Amino acid sequence: MKRADWRRTYAALTVARSRITGMGLFAGTRIRARAKIGEFEGEVIGLREARRRAKGRSIVAIVELERHALDATDTGRGFRYINHSCAPNTYIRCTPVRAEFYALRDIRAGEELTADYGETQHNGQLKCRCGAKGCRGAI
């Protein structure tokens, strides 16, 4: 099987107003289940610096990896715009140096991409607005 060119899928993603909250990330093309969609881009910073920066921010665009973190705050595109859903259509696979996004199921062009954030700095203090059946109610 030909290796899928995820960079094309990634380049086609668009940022637009979300039905969930704020801005969201949308598929520009059809994405097949289990296909790689892209990687989280951001400034590489230390874990301590990541926690310092996250404090007092309402929107945190930082992903923590094993030994460092990626801060996408000044990145105008990409996965910093992906919203949380309790029934997401993507999943995140973290390697020691990357956070990669994959499709959980077939995704239509124009569909909003969502991921399960798992543990966040909100520690369940933020009301979830994903609207999914079985929503956990908080992030």
Residues from 38 through 97 that contact Zn ion (CB under 5 A): 86
Question: Half-sphere exposure (CA, 13 Å, Cβ side) for 32?
Answer: 5
Find the shortest distance in angstroms from Cβ 1 to Zn ion: 35
Tell me which H or E stretch contains 51: helix 47-54
Q: Is 37 in the site for Zn ion (CB under 5 A)?
A: no
Q: Return the number of the residue (72 or 115) whose C-beta is nearest Zn ion.
A: 115
- Region near Zn ion per CB under 5 A, out of 31-39, 92-100, 103-111, 122-130: 122-130
Task: Decide if residue 135 touches Zn ion (CB under 5 A).
Answer: yes
Residue 30 structure tokens: 């059809």
Report whether 112 contacts 18 (CB < 8 A).
yes
CB 27 within 8 Å of CB 107: yes
- Residues forming contacts to Zn ion in the complex (CB under 5 A) are 86, 128, 130, 135
